Amino acid sequence: EAQVTQNPRYLITVTGKKLTVTCSQNMNHEYMSWYRQDPGLGLRQIYYSMNVEVTDKGDVPEGYKVSRKEKRNFPLILESPSPNQTSLYFCASSLDPFQPQHFGDGTRLSIL
Amino acid sequence: QKEVEQNSGPLSVPEGAIASLNCTYSDRGSQSFFWYRQYSGKSPELIMFIYSNGDKEDGRFTAQLNKASQYVSLLIRDSQPSDSATYLCAVGSEGTSYGKLTFGQGTILTVHP
């Protein structure tokens, strides 16, 4: 089954404790992206990746890191999480940025 | 001015009516346009995508794109209660922001029986 898998689905943690949200796709897609969703603000792009070892900042990259060492994986790293990063996060992938995105099920992060 | 802006909601229509959702964008170099539907607590799912000026129809859904006026719209004919959801407009950039995808803030649609 073609899918984008995110883990964990839910996480409650504390300020400053490094965390990683994993994202994996099995569709051999070149393009992958991370978004955060907050009430009234829609989806805001954090980082995107056109291919392995190629990443670019989206609209809200501050406080986040990403890496793309393999085509299928695109982890999101919060090195020192803060409460303003409490949000719903989505990973997505597509063949290229001009094709429809396939979304993961989302990760709800709460940072206390 | 927001890069991608959707008509403010919430939008409420009776069952069987036409729902009209609008989206304007600021980047004239944008070439790809998407409409996603998102049910509460779920991930976005694709409804339509359009690349060329004009209309594109798929069942009860029609996407309309006007690049000169920088707007894209989604019409839902014969609206059903199951269409009640948040609708997200997304615009893909070329040029200096090649690969960047920008979403609007979403419009909540309620279809009442």
* Residue pLDDT, tens place only, A31-40: 999 999 998 8
Distance CA A35, CA A66 (A): 12
Considering only alpha carbons, which residue of chain B is nearest residue A36?
B103
Return the structure tokens found at B29.
């170099």
pLDDT band at A81 (very low <50, low <70, confident <90, very high): very high
pLDDT at residue B84 is higher than 80:
yes
CB atoms closer than 10 angstroms to residue B86: 21
Tell me the average pLDDT across A68-83: 97
Q: Which of A40, A42, A105 sits opposite B43 (nearest CB)?
A: A105
Altogether, the residues listed in chain B come to a count of 113
At residue B82, what are phi and psi to the nearest 5 degrees?
Answer: -70, -10
pLDDT band at B96 (very low <50, low <70, confident <90, very high): low
Phi-psi region of B99 (alpha: psi -120 to 50; beta: other; left: phi over 0): left
Bridge pairing between strands B11-14 and B101-103? unpaired
**Of B47, B65, B46, whose CA–CA distance to B55 is shortest?**
B65
Distance CA A49, CA A107 (A): 19
Sequence-separated (6 or more) residues with CB below 8 Å from residue B100: A45, A48, A56, A58, A59, A97, B92, B93
Angle at alpha carbon of residue A1, lines to A68 and B99, rounded to 5°: 35
Between residues B89 and B3, the one the model is more confident about? B89
Q: Among B37, B100, B108, which would you mutate to test the A interface (most chain A Cβ atoms within 10 Å of its Cβ)? A: B100
The string over A74-108, giving b where at least 16 C-beta atoms fall within 10 Å of a residue's C-beta and e elsewhere, is bbbebeebeeebbbbbbbbbbeebbbbbbbbebbe
Tell me the average pLDDT across B55-78: 96
Considering only alpha carbons, which residue of chain B is nearest residue A32?
B99
Return the structure tokens found at A87.
């949000």
Q: Which of B49, B51, B101 sits opposite A97 (nearest CB)?
A: B101
At residue A84, what are phi and psi to the nearest 5 degrees?
Answer: -75, 0
